[in-house]
């Protein structure tokens, strides 16, 4: 086929042998003025695709007319596709999305797996930090929506490795809580919940002293494409404040069929994720306040302990330095509270004074700092 011979790798010996014969079938691709005809080889089509093999092995119109019509296809895509029929094409990151539907429809498993591998690699390049609300990625919302689109694409065309990679990534993004919760809109959560089905109700044995053989609790497990996302929802953690979604809403009392028919399930998941994010934010605030009340005063004391020429201005400068160091060390916790950068001078008030009970010496200098984050309405006295 002259249309697909241009700029292609060298043909295999079998392809060259087939090409020594005249083309024996015409493939019409597209409709109207955009329609193009391609002179092809039945043997090459049958050898590469079980679908074409079945088509030409039976008393079908295509076999009798020596003509195949693909009116809904794009001629440019068919030209690319036929290069794989002749085993001269190469799957890469630029053409994998285009070719996967063709290989799926015409049951070309080997090349479909190559597309799957290529698309999986594009997903594993991401980390959850790429989706942090205070991160450097300004297109995080578009990227997340694109990943959900790729999930639906992968499910449609049986790209199992890509599905697994997306499930891992989405579960990891969800675990970031308040850093990524804005990405999980009701519509996005609805899409993810749909891919958690089918669900299965399982009885988990209780272990421990006094436990009977019949003792146990019911769990709802996912057998769908987003199993890890569902596992995240149904896992408790005292560290992050995460609670079991199924226990919170007493869903274990329902059957798997009832859950599948429950139109409120996505809204419950959305509410649960937002509540968990708020818990994580509160825990971060508590941790930050505790560290501010202990670490910063100690740091200021260490900075002033062996200095003899202490003034109020110097003490204030040391307190500011201690706060800045503390911010850099605990930057992740500050970001969870909505602070990406250390507060500017008008938002950071540090009051330092010399002890009135002793002379200015290495042991007589103390600093009292009051940190006010007016933007958040939080006042921390140190």
pLDDT exceeds cutoff 70 at 169: yes
pLDDT tens by residue, 222-254: 999 999 999 999 887 665 656 778 888 888 888
Alpha helices in the chain (DSSP H): 2-5, 13-19, 42-48, 50-57, 61-65, 75-85, 96-105, 109-124, 140-156, 160-175, 186-194, 227-233, 245-248, 256-261, 265-304, 312-329, 331-336
CB neighbours of residue 54 within 10 Å: 13
Of 338 and 191, more confident: 191
Q: Which of 92-96, 231-235, 315-319, 354-358 has the highest mean pLDDT?
A: 92-96
Are the C-beta atoms of residues 113 and 99 closer than 8 Å to each other? no
Tell me what the pLDDT averaged over the chain comes to.
Answer: 79
DSSP code at position 242 = B
> What sign results for the dihedral spanned by CA atoms 79, 83, 85, 86?
positive
Query: How large is the average pLDDT for residues 256-278?
Result: 89
pLDDT exceeds cutoff 60 at 176: yes
Burial of 45 (0-12, 13-18, 19+ CB in 10 A): buried
> What sign results for the dihedral spanned by CA atoms 328, 330, 332, 337?
negative
């Amino acid at each position: 086929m002259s249309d697909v011979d241009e700029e292609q790798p060298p043909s295999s010996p079998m392809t060259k042998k087939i090409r020594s014969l005249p083309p024996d079938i015409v493939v019409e691709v597209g409709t109207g003025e955009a329609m193009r005809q391609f002179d092809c080889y039945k043997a090459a089509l049958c050898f590469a695709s079980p679908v074409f093999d079945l088509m030409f092995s039976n008393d079908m119109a295509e076999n009798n007319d020596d003509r195949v019509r693909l009116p809904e296809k794009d001629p440019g895509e068919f030209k690319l596709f036929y290069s794989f029929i002749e085993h001269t094409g190469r799957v890469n990151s630029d053409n994998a999305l285009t070719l996967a539907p063709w290989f799926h429809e015409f049951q070309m498993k080997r090349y479909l797996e190559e597309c799957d591998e290529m698309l999986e690699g594009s997903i594993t390049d991401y980390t959850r930090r790429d989706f942090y609300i205070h991160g450097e990625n300004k297109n995080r919302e578009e990227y997340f929506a694109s990943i959900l689109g790729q999930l639906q694409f992968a499910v449609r065309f049986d790209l199992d490795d890509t599905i697994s990679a997306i499930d891992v990534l989405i579960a990891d993004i969800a675990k970031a809580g308040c850093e990524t919760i804005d990405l999980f809109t009701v519509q996005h959560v609805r899409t993810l919940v749909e891919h958690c089905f089918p669900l299965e109700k399982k009885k988990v044995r209780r272990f421990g002293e006094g436990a009977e053989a019949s003792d146990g609790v019911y769990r709802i497990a996912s057998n769908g494409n987003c199993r890890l996302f569902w596992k995240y929802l149904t896992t408790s953690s005292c560290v992050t404040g995460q609670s079991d979604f199924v226990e919170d809403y007493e869903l274990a009392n329902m059957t798997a069929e009832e859950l599948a028919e429950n139109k409120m399930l996505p809204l419950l998941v959305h509410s649960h994720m937002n509540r968990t994010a708020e818990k994580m934010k509160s825990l971060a605030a508590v941790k930050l306040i505790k560290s501010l009340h202990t670490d910063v005063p100690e740091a200021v004391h260490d900075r002033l302990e062996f200095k003899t020429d202490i003034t109020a201005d110097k003490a204030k400068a040391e307190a500011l330095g201690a706060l800045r160091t503390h911010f850099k060390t605990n930057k992740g916790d500050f970001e969870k509270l909505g602070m990406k950068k250390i507060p500017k001078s008008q938002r950071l008030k540090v009051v330092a004074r010399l002890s009135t009970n002793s002379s200015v010496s290495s042991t007589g200098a103390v600093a009292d700092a009051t940190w006010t984050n007016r933007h958040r309405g939080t006042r921390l006295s140190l």
